[in-house]
Amino acid sequence: MNLISLEVIVPIIALIGVLVLVLPGFIQTNYNLKILIKNLSIWIVVIAIILIFIYFIL
């Protein structure tokens, strides 16, 4: 049981780490609110697909 929770927690931590590294440049380049919301929604979809893949396939 402990191993399964680590298999889920570690990718989530890695994704949060990537988000922390990318977020400052992402916000700086998305000066317009409309562009920011569009790009943020794309990021949310990509992260959701990755998490679903990790959870159900792996």
pLDDT in tens, the chain (58 residues): 556 677 888 888 998 999 899 888 877 887 788 888 898 899 899 999 999 998 888 7
The number of folded domains in the chain is 1
pLDDT for the residue 33:
83
Cα–Cα distances in angstroms (integers) from residue 48 to residues 1, 19, 31, 36, 52, in the given order: 24, 13, 24, 18, 6
* Cβ–Cβ < 8 Å for 27, 36: yes
Q: Which domain holds residue 27?
A: 15-56
pLDDT for the residue 56:
87
Residue 4: inside a domain: no
Residue 36: inside a domain: yes
Residue 2: inside a domain: no
Amino acid identity of residue 12, one-letter, is I
Residue 46: inside a domain: yes
